[in-house]
Structure 1
Amino acid sequence: MKAFKALFLVTLLLGGQAYAATLSERTYKRLTIIQELMGENKYKEALKRLDELLPRVRKHKYEYAMVMQTYGFAYAAQDQYKKAIKAFNEALKTEALPEQVQLRMRYNLAQLYAADNDWKSAARAYEQWLAVAEEPSADSYAFGATIYAQLKNYDKAIPKIRKAIRLAPKPRENWYQLLLSMLYQKKHYAEAAKVLETMVAYWPDKKQYWNQLSGVYFTLKKNRRALAVLELAHKQGFLEKERELMNLVNMYLLQGIPYKAAKILDAEMKAGRIARTGKNLQKLGEAWMRAKETDEALRELQAAADAQEKGILYLRLAQLYTDKENWNKVIDLADKALAAGELKNPGDAYLLKGMALYETGKKQGAIASFSKALKYKRSKRQASQWITHIRTEGA
């Protein structure tokens, strides 16, 4: 409310001098002394003198209005908003003050209501001012937008903040932030994206705007754009937290670029910005696996399996070693997968083990493993074919 104090004091001093000719000499002198006291922050003494002056001016509308206006300034400067509001309303009620003074006072009233968190009254006073104001400033439109934003009347607030932005000689970051927050509230994500594109251009060093822009693009299902924005943010060093970096990794995976995902995840783990947890190692191994980088996938999935002892990880390792035809490893890992449990389809592990046993010449063991795979719907057909093949071969 400091800005209001300065504005009220300036208005008071200028107004008092401009209309001194319409005051009696005695009232003018006393108001001048009161103004000087207020200029020295001696509000208690100023209010005491106003109390003494008030009975003398009640019968004179203009003088009474000037005194009430001065009361309003004195109370406002001390953050006594309700008393200031009452005093200003009394001054306005007389309709004795010049039109421009009344207009300025209505704007001051709106500010006071806002300071007192009475947003409905602030809106009413603001609209009364706006209806007769000539060429309202950018700041005044931004103030109106703030009032309606507090009332959650975004349909009125958004056009006002847009007009404030258009009229402003240079970009005001807090106005763009207000507009953006209201567009989010209205779920107008396409418009929010346009605003964020402008904000990124004006304030490219603010990493939150890059993250927000990527998020809005993702919401709009413009995944390529979302990824491109995150890539730029990463190159500028804006992605520092593990959550932000993992978001970039996941975006690469979502877009079917596993090699890039794996490279970034590996580099950020080495840099210490992403922890080498079992979960993260699993994601890294799976990314290498999807990128068909078998050796890297084996290394990271083995580390993930050692950390988590999860059946699915042992199973994936077994699948990779099948590609490398390391059958003893496949048997060992299939057994570990089955022992660890929690497999969605244990038949897959029995199939891999059966294949490895067959390849190592242990046909009876292979048939036993394939027979266990028969119990599971997903692996039943393939297991049956293997058993038929082995028995036919033996015959």
Structure 2
Amino acid sequence: MKLLNHKTWSRAALLAVPVLMTQVAVTQLQRDAGIAALASAVAQEQQKDTRGTRRTPALRNKVYEKLAEAQAAAEAKDLGEAQNILDGMIAAGGKKALNSYELANVYNLYAFIYYSREDYRNALEAYENVVSQPDIPLAMEINTRYTIAQLYFVQEDWKRGIDALLKWFDMTESPNAAAYVLLAQGYYQIKDYDKALANVEKAISMYDEKGKLPKEQWYNLARFLYFEKNDIKSTVDVLETLLTHYPKKQYWVQLSHMYGEQKKEAVQLAAMETAYVQGMLDKGTEQVTMAYLYLQGEVPYKAAKVMDKGLKDGSIEDNSKNWEVTGSAWRQAQELDKSIPAMEKAAAKSDTGELYARLGNIYLDGDQNRKAITAINKGLSRGGVKRPDNARLVLGMAYFNEKEYEKAREAFKAAARDKRSAKYADQWMKYMDSELDRQRSLAEG
């Protein structure tokens, strides 16, 4: 029984890495840099940055009132009115009529309006205008730069997103774990897997140090990156961690394949079986893999039961190959009465005669010689039998058992023409001759 190529199978399963969501929710952007709380802005406008000499210019009352009016309209989802108010502020005396901090707040609201309309290009331009203003509060610039990076990621402009995020890292004193994951994702997208791994590892370690549970997607990204580096041990470690905190079918299946990579056949089978007994393996391909693992583990009865159940309930595809696996498993389990009908279906659905030849062998084992003769002749006439010499040996045995000695001799002679079977064919013909001599002696006596 040929087993699955577990390297190929596991790679297919593990490459299906869930890409972290790049779509940043509007509420998240609001929280990061969107609509500034104007009361807080007024309180901070003269705040001196402790890391430098930046001093923010005053937000004048008349400007504050207009901004508050525009913000109220935006929050009421009247984006057109909000934009009209902002347009009016710009038009009233030109940009020079507003100081840098006032302009920053205007552009901040513009950005929110554009983002709400999914006009990311103009939203980005507005946010870039925010950070281009001199002497705005450092916190405002830091938050806005993070939002700029997020928006580049939303547009799948990975390189600019990375550059923007690195600029943000340079400015912030205490980057959080989510920022490292965002950076890791950017590097992942441009296939710089070493930097991607370093950053997601940093995020996971930050959560671990605080006793917090890292997010499932973080582990998944790390798992993919370890696998790409062919670091099987670390891949297994991550999958075991995922199963501890986020038990899912896909992790049992992937872990089983990884144990196979490590040549740990017993735990490979155990992992897959754990998923199977929990009813997780709902795909036919997964159930067939389960059956192959049982066969590899020399548990053919369980393999046959898995295949039989899947074929009956329709979860395993009703095709020649799957019936062949079922029939072979039943035969290995010494259940010939169940192996025969499975192999009959496999042979009937096959395009070649190979399975009829194998079916004939099973018939012979079950002392159904006439059926063996019919099956093997059908297989040989159809063609595609891998070892026709072996098939003819079996055919000769079946004829011999049916006492059709001349046909048996003809089959053995045909088998002997292949040197791989010549020795056994000659032995059978000698045995048959001695048996015929014995029968003649008995008759004469």
Structure 1 length-normalised TM: 0.84
Aligned match of 2:167:
128
Aligned match of 2:147:
108
The CA deviation at 1:221 is 4.1
Deviations 1:188-210 (A, max 9, x none): 44323222222222222x32332
Do 2:340 and 2:362's aligned partners in 1 also have CA atoms closer than 8 Å? yes
Identity %: 30
Report the more deviating stretch, 2-11 or 371-380: 2-11
Q: Distance in 1 between matches of 2:190 and 2:343?
A: 54
Aligned match of 2:87:
48
Pairing 1:260–2:283 present: no
Aligned match of 1:202:
245
Q: Distance in 2 between matches of 1:303 and 1:257?
A: 23
Aligned match of 1:29:
62
- C-alpha spacing 1:390/1:100, structure 2 compared with 1 (3 Å): closer
Deviations 1:17-49 (A, max 9, x none): 321696457x34213421331232142123223
Q: Distance in 1 between matches of 2:171 and 2:304?
A: 63
Pairing 1:72–2:98 present: no
> What SS does the corresponding residue of 2:36 show, helix, strand or coil?
helix
Deviations 1:241-293 (A, max 9, x none): 22221121122123332121012222333334335544332221111112222
The CA deviation at 1:12 is 5.0
Deviations 1:198-254 (A, max 9, x none): 2222222x3233223333333444443332222111111111122221121122123
- C-alpha spacing 1:376/1:32, structure 2 compared with 1 (3 Å): same
Do 1:334 and 1:353's aligned partners in 2 also have CA atoms closer than 8 Å? yes
Q: Distance in 2 between matches of 1:339 and 1:301?
A: 18
- C-alpha spacing 1:48/1:227, structure 2 compared with 1 (3 Å): same
Aligned match of 2:411:
369
Structure that is richer in helix per residue: 1
> What SS does the corresponding residue of 1:264 show, helix, strand or coil?
helix
Do 1:249 and 1:265's aligned partners in 2 also have CA atoms closer than 8 Å? yes
Do 1:311 and 1:338's aligned partners in 2 also have CA atoms closer than 8 Å? yes
Deviations 1:319-370 (A, max 9, x none): 2343344444443443333333321222223222333334444444432322
> What SS does the corresponding residue of 1:262 show, helix, strand or coil?
helix
The CA deviation at 1:183 is 3.8
> What SS does the corresponding residue of 1:152 show, helix, strand or coil?
coil
Q: Distance in 1 between matches of 2:343 and 2:421?
A: 24
Aligned match of 1:165:
204
Letter in 2 for 1:291: A
Q: Distance in 1 between matches of 2:155 and 2:369?
A: 78
Aligned match of 2:45:
19
Q: Distance in 1 between matches of 2:375 and 2:121?
A: 77
Pairing 1:347–2:357 present: no
Q: Distance in 2 between matches of 1:130 and 1:18?
A: 23
Pairing 1:287–2:329 present: yes
User: Which of the residues 135, 139, 143 maps onto 2:178?
Assistant: 139
Alignment of 1:315-334 (within 5 A): 315-334=357-376
> What SS does the corresponding residue of 1:78 show, helix, strand or coil?
helix
CA RMSD of aligned residues (A): 3.1
Q: Which has the higher contact order (CA 8 A, sep 6+)?
A: 2
The CA deviation at 1:51 is 0.7
- C-alpha spacing 1:174/1:388, structure 2 compared with 1 (3 Å): closer
Report how many residues are paired.
390
Q: Distance in 2 between matches of 1:16 and 1:114?
A: 31
Q: Distance in 2 between matches of 1:257 and 1:110?
A: 55
Do 2:177 and 2:204's aligned partners in 1 also have CA atoms closer than 8 Å? yes
Do 2:103 and 2:133's aligned partners in 1 also have CA atoms closer than 8 Å? no
- C-alpha spacing 1:254/1:177, structure 2 compared with 1 (3 Å): same
The answer for unaligned runs of 5 or more in structure 2 is 1-24, 48-55, 75-80, 438-445
> What SS does the corresponding residue of 1:40 show, helix, strand or coil?
helix
Q: Distance in 1 between matches of 2:365 and 2:122?
A: 84
The CA deviation at 1:378 is 1.9
- C-alpha spacing 1:240/1:166, structure 2 compared with 1 (3 Å): same
> What SS does the corresponding residue of 2:316 show, helix, strand or coil?
coil
Do 2:86 and 2:106's aligned partners in 1 also have CA atoms closer than 8 Å? no
User: Which of the residues 212, 222, 226 maps onto 1:179?
Assistant: 222
Do 2:83 and 2:113's aligned partners in 1 also have CA atoms closer than 8 Å? no
- C-alpha spacing 1:11/1:138, structure 2 compared with 1 (3 Å): farther
Pairing 1:99–2:138 present: yes
Do 1:288 and 1:294's aligned partners in 2 also have CA atoms closer than 8 Å? yes
Q: Distance in 2 between matches of 1:170 and 1:273?
A: 36
Do 2:34 and 2:111's aligned partners in 1 also have CA atoms closer than 8 Å? no
- C-alpha spacing 1:384/1:48, structure 2 compared with 1 (3 Å): same
Deviations 1:99-155 (A, max 9, x none): 333333332332333334433222222222212422222222222223322332222
